[in-house]
Amino acid sequence: MFLNIETNKLSSLSIRVSSVPGTAAQRWSRGYLPALFLIAFHIPLPAAETDFPKPSAIQTQDVPPVPADFVARLRQYQNTRPAGFAGWSPAGQGILIRTQFANSLQLHRVYEPGGRREQITFFDEPVDGGFIPKASDGAILMEIDKGGSENDQIYLLDRAKFTTTLLTDGKSRHRIDAIRDDGKLMIVGSNQRNGRDTDLFVADPRKLGFQRTLMEVNNEHWSVTDWSKDGKALLLTRYVSINESYPAVMDIESGKRRDLPLPGNAKAAIGAFEFTPDGKRAFIACDADNEFRRLGLLDLATGNCDWITSDIAWDVGGVRVHDETGNVAFTVNADGATQLYLLEPQTGGRIARRELKLPTGIVSSLQFSPDGKRLGFTLARPELPADAYSIELASGQLTRWTYAEAGGLDPATFVTANRIRFPSFDGREIPGWYFRPRTASPVSKAPVLIKIHGGPESQALPYFIDSTQFYVGEMGMAVILPNVRGSAGYGKTYLKLDNAEKREDSVKDIGALLDWIGKQPELDASRVAVTGGSYGGFMVLSSLTHFGDRIKAGVDIVGICNFNTFLANTSAYRVDLRRAEYGDERDEKMKAVFDRISPANQADKIVSALLVAHGKNDPRVPFSEAEQIVAKVRSHGRTVWTVFADNEGHGFSKKDNDDYLMAVEAYFLKKSLGIE
């Protein structure tokens, strides 16, 4: 069985956001590793006598040297190092985790709780991967791209022979959708045919190339979410947008696909979609006839669906089914904190539900142990770096497998996040998170950093992020993470409030937040900055055009500045997915809306200090977006700090680049907000 987890790597410093389906269906959690996982650990060193070194792949303009005395303390925050659960060993000998010692995320084995970590991959690029099911030799499948291009290749790491073999063509975009329970076959998505459409193939996890084409698609986005226990059938979803998906079941031998009616025959969104052990039904997370994604038990023959979580007014997220016991584990995103539940089959066809109690935090990467007695997962909290955990189903005993390093800092000094809600222009309450510095008071007002998430259909969650803790703990800044309208997690009505011509309504929410800041006695409304990446970068630029008199500085990372040029230049496999969210620029009325709201066409209004960072290999938001906004702002006599990387894509994933950008951003905020 496979856990459905949407890819979402996002912070102000490292972004790799995916709304393309398919990455969600991997055996390992690819995307629920927040950007804080991109930080390596080293023993803290005394302050260097030279300025912060600029990596060779980075080019800058108008960026002054970052003084060594400023970054001496910053380096400790950059050296915090979380760990993420990536799977159980098929033989039951410990777990696989994803963490970092060198310049990028790699895979490590941990053989016992709190035991030593054995690094097993050593690549220059970040590695995603997991054990092949039931592989007695401990073989691992990996996905690796080059320079942030997102043209992932699949590799086999043979732990018995100590060899690594490339299984794909070395140039196209690939993903592992599902692996058969016996580990002998897998379903791979690849756009090798035309660079746009991701066709589905059957492949041997230990051999080069594909055995046969399972499904060739035409301008649609299909992914496999699960493979039945008997190996005969697949569950699939066709993704249109975050608001619209369609389920199907396929006979793998014939390749015949049968589309399934959604419950209530309504347009709806589908998240997790997993077979029951007998293959006759499936657990589905779907918002059909409901505001939130409920967990339902769908009869694949009749289409009848029994809803299990109608009493829970939040989205069901990850779902796992254990093929032997029939137990089901699922998570609920309850206002940004995870609730973990277990469903246990009872006599008479009944299902018992109980909550497994956990510390308040964010759970991801759920996976049953091979014997079905434990659940492994990553637990992330606002005030602590994330770690790998497991829980005994029978007793509820929680076991911590890893102990994330705090960079030599005192964890007791880290600040947690508080929920806030503030009224917007239409009376709607906007949710968010507030990291308040301990030094803030009416007589010592704190400057404010607003961090805006991307997506736009993402959600700001209170992860531990090194930069946030540095700003709050060392620079005395308040950090606020708003979930403006259009954010996920608060129901499908809220999710649709910024679509198409309503795009700027979400920007108005930032104006409402500025009003709220002005009413807080401990916050300095005259010293506010905004930062964001990807779509969050658009929000930053748009906020500067609307509220330049109230915002001192903006940090735009891999951001969109013109929707028309963005849609014209983004990768072919993404363009229709983005049109479904932003609007279709081929419609003259929508094109006119884009012309009106795009910050590039209002660059003369940007009077705040501006920092722009971008990876030149970005396949999502083309590098030309950064070049465009920088040129236009500078044409009006404004200074723009720029940080561009030759070996990065949609965010900075390599430690040396990420560290440098964080240092530049921190120094930029210090100078722009007049922080002593």
Pairing of strands 212-215, 257-259: unpaired
The whole-chain average pLDDT of the chain stands at 90
The C-alpha torsion from 418 through 419 and 420 to 425, rounded to 10°, is 140
More confident residue, 210 or 30: 210
> Strand runs (DSSP E) across 505-616, as ranges?
523-533, 553-557, 609-615
Find the helix packing angle between 466-473 and 68-78, rounded to 10°.
130
Burial class (CB in 10 A: 0-12, 13-18, 19+), 65: exposed
Portion of the chain with pLDDT greater than 90, in percent = 81
Q: What is the pLDDT of residue 294?
A: 96
Looking at 20-24, 67-71, 177-181, which range is the least confident one?
A: 20-24
How many CA atoms, within 13 angstroms, populate the side-chain half-sphere of residue 290? 23
CA distances from 478 to 417, 518, 541 (A): 10, 13, 21
SS3 for 614? strand
β partners of residue 129: 142
Q: How far apart are the C-alpha atoms of 398 and 244, rounded to whole Å?
A: 37
Amino acid identity, position 379: L
Burial class (CB in 10 A: 0-12, 13-18, 19+), 525: middle
pTM of the predicted structure, to 2 decimals = 0.90
Block residue for tokens 């009416």: 442
Q: pLDDT tens digits for 208-255?
A: 999 999 999 999 999 999 999 999 999 999 999 999 999 999 999 999
Portion of the chain with pLDDT greater than 70, in percent = 92
Q: pLDDT tens digits for 544-593?
A: 999 999 999 999 999 999 999 999 999 988 898 888 888 889 999 999 99
Q: How far apart are the C-alpha atoms of 405 and 384, rounded to whole Å?
A: 10
Q: pLDDT tens digits for 368-421?
A: 999 999 999 999 999 999 999 999 999 999 999 999 988 889 999 999 999 999
Reply yes or no: is the peptide bond before residue 65 cis, omega within 30 of 0: no
Please answer whether residues 106 and 119 qualify as being in contact, where contact means their C-beta atoms are separated by less than 8 angstroms.
Answer: yes
What are the tokens at 465? Answer: 């992020």
End-to-end CA separation in angstroms for the chain:
54
CATH architecture of the domain covering 8-30+79-406: 7 Propeller (2.130)
User: Angle 436-441-443 (CA atoms, 0-180°, nearest 5)?
Assistant: 150
For residue 48, pLDDT beyond 50: no
Amino acid identity, position 626: A
318 phi, psi to nearest 5 deg: -75, 145
74 phi, psi to nearest 5 deg: -55, -40
Q: How far apart are the C-alpha atoms of 188 and 175, rounded to whole Å?
A: 6
Q: How far apart are the C-alpha atoms of 322 and 481, rounded to whole Å?
A: 36
Average of pLDDT values for 91-99? Answer: 90
For residue 347, pLDDT beyond 70: no
Q: How far apart are the C-alpha atoms of 578 and 493, rounded to whole Å?
A: 19
Block residue for tokens 């996040």: 417
* DSSP string across 172-202: S-EEEEEE-TTSS-EEEEE-TTTSS--EEEE
Q: What is the pLDDT of residue 24?
A: 32
Q: What is the pLDDT of residue 91?
A: 81
Residue extent(s) of CATH 2.130.10.120 domains in the chain? 8-30+79-406
Q: How far apart are the C-alpha atoms of 473 and 475, rounded to whole Å?
A: 6
Q: Positive or negative, the Cα torsion across 76, 78, 79, 80?
A: positive
Q: What is the pLDDT of residue 270?
A: 96
For residue 153, pLDDT beyond 90: yes
Report the largest interatomic distance among the alpha carbons of the chain, rounded to a whole angstrom.
75
Pairing of strands 351-356, 362-368: unpaired
Buried b (16+ CB within 10 A) or exposed e, 1-33: bbbbbbbbbbbbbbbbbbbbbbbbbbbbbbbbb
Q: What is the pLDDT of residue 349?
A: 64
Please answer whether residues 273 and 284 qualify as being in contact, where contact means their C-beta atoms are separated by less than 8 angstroms.
Answer: yes
For residue 47, pLDDT beyond 60: no
Q: What is the pLDDT of residue 18?
A: 35
For residue 46, pLDDT beyond 70: no
For residue 36, pLDDT beyond 70: no
For residue 137, pLDDT beyond 50: yes
Q: What is the pLDDT of residue 26?
A: 32
Residue extent(s) of CATH 3.40.50.1820 domains in the chain? 43-78+415-673
What CATH fold (topology level) applies to the domain 43-78+415-673?
A: Rossmann fold (3.40.50)
